Structure 1
Amino acid sequence: MGVKFTDEQFPPCPKSLFINSSRPLQKLLAVNDWDRAENVFKKANKKPRLFSGPTKPQDVRQGALGDCWFLSAVAVLTEEREIKDVVITPEYNEEGIYTFRFCIQGEWQPVIVDDWIPLNAKRKPAFAMSKKEDELWLTLLEKAYAKLHGSYEALEGGVVQDALVDLTGGAGEEIDMRNQDKQLEIASGRLWSQLMRFKEEGFLLGVGSPSGSDTEISPNGIVQSHAYSLLQVREVDGHKLLQMRNPWGNSVEWSGPWSDSSPEWTERMKYKLKYTPKLSDGVFWMSWEDFQVHFRSVYVCRLYPPEMRKVVHGQWRGHTAGGCPNFDTWHNNPQFLLRGVGVDAHRPINVFMTLAQNLCGHPPFFIGLRVVKKGGERVDPILYVHNLAGASEYVNTREVACEMVLEPDPRGYTIVPTTHIPGEETSFRLSVFTKTAVELVELPP
Structure 2
Amino acid sequence: MMVSLVIIPKLTSSEVMALSYFSIKQDLISDCSFVASLAVSVQYEKKFNKHLVTSIIYPQNNKGEPVYNPCGKYMVRFHLNGVWRKVIIDDYLPVDRHNRLLCSATTNKNEIWVSLLEKAYMKVMGGYDFPGSNSTVDLHALTGWIPELLTLHHSDTPFDKDKEFDRMFERFHLGHVLITVATPTLSTEDEERSGLVSSHAYALLDMRKISGHKLIMLKNPWSHLEWKGNFSDHDSTNWTPELVKALNYDPKLQVDIDNGVFWIDYNSLCKCYSKFNFYLNWNPSLFDYTTVIHNTWSARQGPVKDLYNLGDNPQYCLRINCKKKASVWVLLTRHITERQDFAVNRVFITLFVYKNGGHRQ
TM bin, normalised by shorter chain, reads: 0.7 to 0.9
1:56 aligns with 2:20: yes
Alignment of 1:87 with 2:87, yes or no, is no
What SS does structure 2 have at the residue aligned with 1:109? strand
Change (3 A) 1:330 1:319: farther
**Distance in structure 2 (CA, Å) of the matches to 1:224 and 1:121:** 31
2:26 touches 2:223 (CA, 8 Å); kept in 1? yes
**Equivalent-residue separation in structure 2 for 1:220 and 1:213 (angstroms):** 10
Equivalent residue runs for 1:36-435 within 5 Å? 36-38=4-6, 40-41=7-8, 47-50=9-12, 51=15, 53-81=17-45, 82=51, 83-89=53-59, 90-153=66-129, 155-181=130-156, 183-186=158-161, 189-202=162-175, 203-211=177-185, 217-250=191-224, 252-263=225-236, 264-276=238-250, 278=254, 279-292=257-270, 293-294=272-273, 296-305=276-285, 307-317=288-298, 321=302, 327-341=307-321, 344=322, 346-361=323-338, 362=341, 363-364=344-345, 365-375=347-357, 378-379=358-359, 383-384=360-361
Q: Distance in 2 between matches of 1:280 and 1:247?
A: 12
Number of equivalent positions: 333
Q: How far did 1:139 drift?
A: 1.0
Task: Structure 1: give runs of 5+ residues left out of the alignment.
Answer: 1-32, 42-46, 385-445
Contact 2:144 2:284 in 1 (8 A): no
Contact 1:37/1:117, CA 8 A, preserved across alignment: yes
State whether residues 322 and 332 of structure 1, in contact with CA within 8 Å, keep that contact through their aligned partners in structure 2. no
Higher relative contact order (CA 8 A, sep 6+): 2
Compared CA separation, residues 213 and 219, structure 1 to 2 (3 A): closer
Tell me by how many angstroms 1:182 deviates.
5.1
> How far apart, CA to CA, are the structure 2 residues paired with 1:274 and 1:352?
39
User: How many percent of aligned residue pairs carry the same amino acid?
Assistant: 27
Q: 1:52 to 1:351 in 2, by over 3 A?
A: closer
Distance 1:166 1:215 in 2: 35
Q: Displacement of 1:140 after TM fit?
A: 1.2
**Cα distance, 1:156 vs. partner?**
2.8
Distance in 1, Cα, partners of 2:189 & 2:3: 29
How far did 1:216 drift?
8.6
The residue identity in structure 2 corresponding to 1:62 is Q
Specify whether residues 339 and 275 from structure 1 end up closer, same or farther in structure 2 by C-alpha distance, changes over 3 A only: farther
- Indicate if the aligned counterparts of 1:106 and 1:169 stay in contact, CA closer than 8 A: no
* Contact 2:20-2:42 within 8 A present in 1 as well: yes
Q: Which amino acid aligns with 1:209?
A: T
SS of 2:172's partner is helix
TM value normalised by structure 2: 0.84
Conserved 8 A contact 1:69-1:158: yes
Contact 1:48–1:135 under 8 Å retained in 2: yes
What SS does structure 1 have at the residue aligned with 2:194?
A: coil
Task: Tell me how far 1:102 sits from its aligned partner.
Answer: 0.6
Matched with 1:432 is none
Which structure has the larger Rg?
1
- Describe the shift of the 1:318–1:253 C-alpha distance in structure 2 as closer, same or farther (beyond 3 A): closer
Paired amino acid for 2:168: L
CA separation of 1:313/1:113 partners in 2, compared to 1, >3 Å: closer, same or farther? same
* Unmatched segments (≥5 aa) in structure 2: 46-50, 60-65
Partners of 1:166 and 1:216 in 2: CA distance: 33
Q: How far does residue 287 in structure 1 lie from its aligned partner after superposition?
A: 0.8
Query: Does structure 2 conserve the Cα–Cα contact (< 8 Å) formed by 1:214 and 1:225?
Result: no
Aligned to 2:63: none
| Corresponding letter in the other structure for 2:5 | A
Contact 1:127 1:139 in 2 (8 A): yes
- In the alignment, the residues of structure 2 paired with residue 94 and residue 369 of structure 1 have an alpha-carbon distance, to the nearest angstrom, of 48
